[in-house]
Structure 1
Amino acid sequence: MNRLLWLVSTLAIVGILAGCASAPPQAPEPARPSAGEPAYPGDSGPLPAALTQGKSRWQPVRWAELPGFGEDALFEAWNAWIKSCERPGPTFAPLCAEVRRLSIASGDEQRAWMMARLQPYRVEPLQGGADGLLTGYYEPLLEASRTPRPGFQVPLYRPPATLGQRRPWYSRQEIDTLPEARAALRGREIAYLADPVDALVLQIQGSGRVRVTEADGSQRLVRLAFAGSNDQPYKSVGRWLLDQGAIRDGSWPAIKAWVAQNPQRVNDMLWSNPRTVFFREEALPELDAAFGPRGAQGVALTPGRSIAVDRESIPYGTPVWLASSGPQLNLQRLVLAQDTGSAIVGAVRADYFAGWGAEAGELAGRLKQPLRLWVLWPK
């Protein structure tokens, strides 16, 4: 956990201690397994019936099925859970007072409470196996200029006034080439980037941190948040390059390497994706800087503990146990379903919020590996 996130967590805990004199809810401490015994002996009652949730089937399981359940640093996930309690759904709202009090509890106490109050269900598609796909996303950190100047010529726009009058709105290529599309966006510029590929990445991720150089030379860090799109279909530029045999690896590092070698074909690649995203500018106070943008649930995302899901399979605000092993990450941890995305479709499908900046972008650009999910649902 970085220093700023530690500070935010500490301040949150101090506030909870000051505002609540009652002790954390008590639950039996989970016993540690002995040789030949079940992992959690107290978890031996009859299991509930399986549930169907939209596109998925939830199969009830014992806590022992969750890989690494006894080892996760739950306090990191608790920050994300408290965020979810800012806008909880009706299923989890009754638990939020206990969740907040448990922010000062030990990991064993948190695990015991989860076992007492929640039931794990393995998420499966209505047809097929339980294995799915984990990918990653992040919040870019980019340099920008408030006004166009040499080296910063790629505009980012607020939504045009005519956006709702034409569906779909102009495509990416039409925005770059048609006088009427350019006229509709005149005066809607927020800032200018140096690289059109960075602008595309920002639009695909949906938000980003931007260090803007103002006209007077001063700088300030802001967040550009999703404010709408042109309603055109999303097409992967990586898929376009793969189909042409231009690259063998559809990751962002491979795409950027191709761009560096083929500058004369950059527009062709960009125009293969007709979808464009428009933004709104938000202040980024120091304490908020420890969290990511607001996801579809309406709460700030927590690096490493927030995921995007298909909301027809997993409702927003649901705590989820995630297990995934691959060349990029080995994960066995508690996460919160707090976001969604147009490409996140299916029962066992998640997009892992990696954080912000170059390191998070490198991870998110390469993350693509098998996944298993368990929802933790109130008893």
Structure 2
Amino acid sequence: MTPWTLETALRRAAVRAFDLAPDAVPLVWPRNDHADEGADAASALPLRLMRLVDDGARRSRPLTVAGRVAAQLPLMRDEGLVDFARTFTDARGFVNVVFTHEQSRDLLAAAADGPRFLTGRAWDGTGEWPDTPLHDAVPVAQARRLARADARKRLTLAVGGEPPPPGPGDAEVSWRDPYLDGGSAEPITPAARVLGAIGEASARVAFCRSIPERPKEAETTGRDLPVLPSADRPGAWARLTDANPAFRLRYAHAHALSRARWAREGAPPLVGCPRHAARVRGLLFDGASSVDTAARREEPHILVRYLEALASAYDEWRTCPTADPEGAEGAAADPALPAAVAGVLRTGLFLLGVSAPTRL
């Protein structure tokens, strides 16, 4: 089960329930973070349909519309479209669905192919991804604008009408950074100096993490995380610790990919907390809508914050002290979880123009 599959099923259910033209039904992403307790995903589509239908029951219309959409979903299983464990509506007028074990398992398998999972298609078009050299800038604010422009263009390419260029692939990626490794020329501009202090990966994440287009000089996005780091005051962006969001994202990818590789080589699967495993699966499900929203609004910080939430959930899953190897059904049943996390993190970092190391 992917967000694309569920969105398509809900769209068809709405068409059948109200005899609508398929093109008239708006795109409404189902999301895990909208789901009622006990559900895996929920959709606000019925609320968006209220303008299109008139069932004569204005006072109860949200629930009525949601009920008619939900009632169509079980009828579609005979066509092999969907077969959820349960569907129900809530007081908001949302349609909630509970996945079967097989659908949860298929979600993880699909997420391992990050590009297709997040954008609904393979990345096999022609052309190149924007990759502006940030050291071409003079002031740090200009380098920030270049990095944000690259991220916006990459997001547009990923979700646009034409097939995007080939994606990140499976090649080995090291932790080396062309700016941190030093070069022959002494950096002389403020932008080049900050790149030499924190590296390109941290710079691009720092520049895309904040919201304002023209931030104040001393503005931050967290403790010791300046929006405009300088060579003299780089903040946590210069650290190789969890205090640096860029390092944490890249380390989470390297860890998840390494665990997936070790599992393929015969190592026992990583056991984590079932509750945290459900949280990771929910965030994976919300990836496509996060990428689409970031691209549509041209706000790369939406993607950054989504990736940070996924990395944090993965870290909590793998380090949970309450995990029980004998009783943790959710954890033991998720050997594909690290590969799924790696696939989404790698693709998300790529859309920001940031490399994703493949080994710890």
> Which TM-score tier does this pair reach, normalised by the shorter chain?
under 0.3
* Structure showing greater relative contact order (alpha-carbon pairs closer than 8 Å, 6 or more residues apart): 1
**Structure with the largest fraction of strand:** 1
So what's the TM-score if we normalise by structure 1?
0.23
**Structure with the largest fraction of helix:** 2
